[in-house]
């Protein structure tokens, strides 16, 4: 009985981690889309402070983590 | 059991919701910050470039052959060097602070903002003037709250007002970064009754002084457009009285086969005095000739005598340093300047000679040569006049030229651990902008990349503070009608 509860708790923790990465992936996808749009309308607004290449790499890494 | 599973599942869903809210909130904050930095709602924003990593707003010092960048500083090896400034929106003023070190024997270091690309003119302001710094210590100084200083060899005046009301001989005065209202008059001047033709071909932009007395300011310019490049070759003519612009006109590029254009400038009812013409044109434009009722004509600082001029041209100048340069291999050769020669033996290379006795005669056997200096140039010896007072620069010898008074608005740089810091303010509304960028220049006259010199000029940091309208002011203006 106790081991079942522990398994469920461990599963829940795993799910939270998986959900966190999934949510992060969605937010990063949104960020890339919004940043790109902002750059099209106001060139330099994002690139002046943030290198979008790093955001893309981070987004890709999170995507790979979700798959595995 | 199922109940427990449901409770855990609900808890997980709640957590997911919380994570989602937090992450999107972070993104919203980041976007809001980007927009804030773009709009700069307070009307002020500042950027610092310390050379350790690239800055999006302040460009690196260029050209590469005149600079040497190491980890966190840039050495300036030749004059001038440039840096660009990109602004997120329109601003009215820029306060530029330069942290630098100048261990060379070159006394002058200035910063400027490019105002016109064709005339390549810039509004130069001091960063450092070692001559004045030394005079500050050795001579008597009268300072005013607005920053103006009178430096006297021997204490004679107690206030600057007293000095301006009882001016000594103007030969004894030298200026630096001071707008001196000089009421210059040519006592022996008589208006000419006939047209005078200045029959010399001058290429590109140039400036000249002329003089009138109870007569109409009357000039006719005949231009030729070489059309070597496809750019728009508009010519702009501006007339100044002192530093005030009193007239301006544009001669647009007709883009037809007719390469000749004419501009007529006639201004009546002007008081007697000196007037400055500024011809702003690119190097595709040649002034074929100038026809004028006025008989006084002196070119300021620079003249490019174009290809196709008559041979053996003679110029007279009061410059203390004369430079010669050509881009035409056919124009290479020796130029006689006073008792000495400038051997122009290489194209695109500026060669200089110091003249001890003024006025000096410049004898050119060939044309298509750019002659420049720190004074004026005239085609006749009798016609040489310079309404400007002497300037405290690297060519001025305070003792030999018997300078007893220096009037200046220059502030000595702030010294901190061996680094000098100077701040200068620029008006961005009149500045030239290309691709959303302003061009600044740092000038150290006589510093040449190809010549070795003791000491170094190092720039450690460039800080730019921008000031403009606030969001509140903009909204008020927008909704006010």
Nearest CA in chain A to B54: A48
Measured distance CA(B19)–CA(B22) in Å, rounded: 5
Cβ–Cβ of B23/A24 closer than 8 Å?
yes
Q: How far apart are alpha carbons B198 and B291 in whole angstroms?
A: 6
Q: Which residues contact B293 (CB under 8 A, 6 or more apart)?
A: B191, B192, B195, B196, B215, B216, B218
Query: Does B257 score more than 70 pLDDT?
Result: no
| Range(s) of the domain holding residue A28 | 2-67
Q: How close is the nearest chain A Cα to the Cα of B74, in Å? A: 22
Q: Looking at the 3D structure of chain A, how many domains does it have?
A: 1
User: So what's the pLDDT on residue B218?
Assistant: 92
CA dihedral A28, A32, A34, A36 (to 10 degrees): 170
Of A8, A42, A44, the CB nearest to B56: A44
d(CA A19, CA A13): 10
Most confident range (mean pLDDT) of B195-204, B221-230, B302-311 is B195-204
The Cβ-side half-sphere exposure at B292, using a 13 Å CA radius, reads 23
pLDDT band, residue B349 (cuts 50/70/90)? confident
Q: For each of chain A's 68 residues, which pLDDT tens digit applies?
A: 666 777 766 766 777 788 888 999 999 999 999 999 999 999 999 999 999 999 999 999 999 998 87
Which residue matches tokens 């008989």? Answer: B295
Residue of A nearest to B26 (CA): A27
Predicted confidence (pLDDT) at residue B441 exceeds the cutoff of 70:
yes
Write the CB contacts of B65 (distance below 8 Å, at least 6 apart in sequence): B77, B78, B449
Q: Decide if B330 contacts B292 (C-beta within 8 A).
A: no
pLDDT at B5 over 70: no
User: Tokens for B217?
Assistant: 């300011």
- Whole-angstrom distance, CA of residue B472 vs CA of residue B123: 31
Domain chopping of chain B, boundaries? 2-39, 47-129+411-472
Does the CB of A64 have a partner CB in chain B at under 8 Å?
no
Mutate to test the interface with B, among A48, A55, A59 (most CBs of B within 10 A): A48
Confidence of residue B19 (pLDDT cuts 50, 70, 90): confident
* Residue carrying the six token digits 């400034």: B85
Q: What per-residue confidence (pLDDT) applies to B134?
A: 94
| B226-240 residue pLDDT tens | 888 777 788 999 999
3-state SS string for chain B? CHHHHHHHHHHHHHHHHHHHHHHHHHHHHHHHHHHHHHHCCCCEEEEEECCCCCCCCECCCECHHHEEECCCCEEECCCCEEEEEECCCCCCEEEEEEEEEECCCCCEEEEEEEEECCCCEEEEEEEEEHHHHHHHHHCEEEECCCCCEEEECCCCCCCHHHHHHCCCCHHHEEEECCCCCCCCCCCCCCCCCCCEEECCCEECCEEEEEEECCCCEEEEEEEEECCCCCCCCCEEEEEEECCEEEEEEEECCCCCCCCEEEEEEEECCCCCEEEEEEEECCCCEEEEEEEECCCCCEEEEEEEECCCCCCCEEEEECCCEEEEECCCHHHCEEEEECCEEEEECCCCCCEEEECCCCCEEEEECCCCEEEEEEEEEECCCCCCCCCCCEECCCCCCCCCCCCCEEEECCCCCEEECCEEEEEEEEECCCCCEECCEEEEEEECCCCCCCCCCCCCEEEEEEEEEEECCCHHHHHHHHCCC
In chain B, which residues have their Cβ closer than 8 Å to the Cβ of A30? 24, 27
The number of beta carbons lying within 10 Å of the beta carbon of residue A60 is: 12
Average pLDDT score over residue span B287-292:
92
Average pLDDT in the B184-192 region?
85
Q: Are B379 and B317 in contact (CB under 8 A)?
A: no
Q: Which two tokens stand for residue A5?
A: 């509860």
pLDDT given for residue B481 in this prediction: 59
Judged by CB atoms closer than 8 Å, whether chains meet at A27 and B56 is answered as no
Q: What is the pLDDT of residues B442-455, one digit of tens each?
A: 999 888 888 888 88
Q: How far is A30 from chain B (nearest CA, A)?
A: 9
Whether A31 and B27 lie within 8 Å, measured CB to CB: yes
CB contact under 8 A, B88 and A44: yes
| pLDDT (0 to 100) of residue B411 | 92
* Shortest distance, CA B282 to any CA of chain A (angstroms): 31
- Cβ neighbours around B233 below 10 Å, total: 24
Interface of A with B in 34-63 (CB under 8 A): 34, 38, 42, 44-49
pLDDT digits 0-9 by tens, B37-74: 999 999 999 999 999 888 999 999 999 999 998 888 99
Tell me which of B11, B18, B31, B32 to substitute to probe the interface with A (most A C-beta atoms closer than 10 Å): B31
ipTM metric: 0.87
Chain A residues lying within 8 Å of B23, measured CB to CB? 23-24, 27
Contact A48 B57 (CB under 8 A): yes
Residue B382: what pLDDT? 85
Cβ separation of A38 and B34 shorter than 8 Å? yes
Q: What's the CATH code, domain B47-129+411-472?
A: 2.60.120.260
Q: Which of A15, A47, A48 sits opposite B12 (nearest CB)?
A: A15
């Amino acid at each position: 009985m106790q081991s079942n509860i522990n398994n469920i708790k461990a599963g829940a923790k795993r799910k939270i981690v998986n959900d966190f990465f999934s949510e992060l992936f969605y937010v990063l996808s949104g960020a890339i889309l919004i940043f790109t749009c902002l750059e099209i309308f106001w060139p330099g607004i994002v690139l002046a402070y943030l290198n979008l290449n790093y955001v893309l790499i981070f987004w890709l890494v999170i995507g790979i983590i979700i798959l595995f | 059991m199922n109940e427990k599973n449901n409770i855990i599942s609900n808890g997980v869903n709640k957590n997911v919701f919380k994570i989602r809210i937090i992450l999107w909130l972070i993104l919203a904050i980041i976007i809001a910050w980007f927009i804030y930095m773009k709009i700069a709602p307070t009307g002020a924003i500042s950027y610092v470039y310390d050379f350790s990593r690239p800055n999006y707003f302040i460009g690196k010092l260029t050209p590469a052959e005149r600079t040497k960048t190491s980890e966190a500083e840039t050495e300036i090896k030749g004059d001038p060097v440039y840096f660009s400034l990109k602004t997120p929106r329109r601003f009215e003023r820029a306060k530029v602070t330069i942290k630098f070190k100048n261990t060379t024997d070159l006394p002058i270091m200035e910063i400027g903002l490019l105002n016109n690309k064709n005339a390549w003119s810039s509004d130069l302001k001091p960063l450092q003037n070692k001559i004045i710094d030394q005079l500050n210590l050795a001579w008597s100084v009268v300072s005013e709250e607005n920053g103006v200083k009178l430096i006297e060899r021997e204490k004679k005046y107690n206030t600057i007002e007293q000095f301006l009301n009882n001016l000594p001989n103007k030969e004894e005065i030298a200026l630096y970064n001071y707008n001196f209202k000089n009421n210059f008059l040519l006592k022996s001047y008589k208006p000419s009754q006939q047209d005078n033709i200045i029959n010399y071909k001058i290429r590109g932009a140039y400036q000249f002084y002329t003089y009138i007395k109870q007569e109409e300011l009357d000039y006719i310019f005949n231009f030729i457009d070489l059309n070597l490049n496809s750019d728009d070759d508009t010519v702009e003519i501006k007339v100044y009285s002192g530093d005030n612009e009193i007239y301006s006109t544009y001669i647009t590029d007709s883009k037809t086969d007719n390469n000749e254009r004419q501009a007529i400038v006639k201004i009546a009812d002007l008081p007697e005095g000196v007037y400055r013409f500024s011809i702003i044109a690119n190097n595709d434009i040649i002034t074929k000739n100038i026809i004028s009722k006025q008989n006084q004509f002196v070119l300021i600082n620079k003249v490019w005598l174009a290809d196709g001029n008559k041979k053996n041209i003679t110029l007279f100048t009061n410059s203390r340093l004369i430079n010669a340069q050509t881009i035409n291999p056919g124009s290479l050769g020796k130029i006689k300047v006073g008792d000495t020669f400038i051997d122009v033996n290489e194209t695109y290379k500026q060669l200089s000679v110091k003249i001890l006795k003024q006025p000096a005669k410049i004898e050119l056997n060939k044309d298509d040569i750019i002659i420049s200096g720190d004074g004026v140039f005239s085609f006749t010896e009798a016609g040489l006049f310079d309404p400007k007072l002497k300037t405290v620069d690297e060519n001025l010898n305070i003792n030999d030229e018997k300078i007893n008074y220096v009037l200046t608005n220059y502030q000595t740089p702030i010294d901190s651990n061996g680094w000098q810091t100077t701040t200068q303010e620029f008006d961005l509304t009149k500045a030239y902008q290309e691709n959303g960028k302003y061009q600044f220049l740092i000038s150290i006259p006589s510093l040449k990349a190809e010549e070795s010199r003791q000491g170094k000029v190092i720039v450690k940091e460039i800080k730019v503070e921008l000031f403009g309208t606030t969001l509140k002011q903009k909204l008020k203006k927008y909704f006010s009608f």
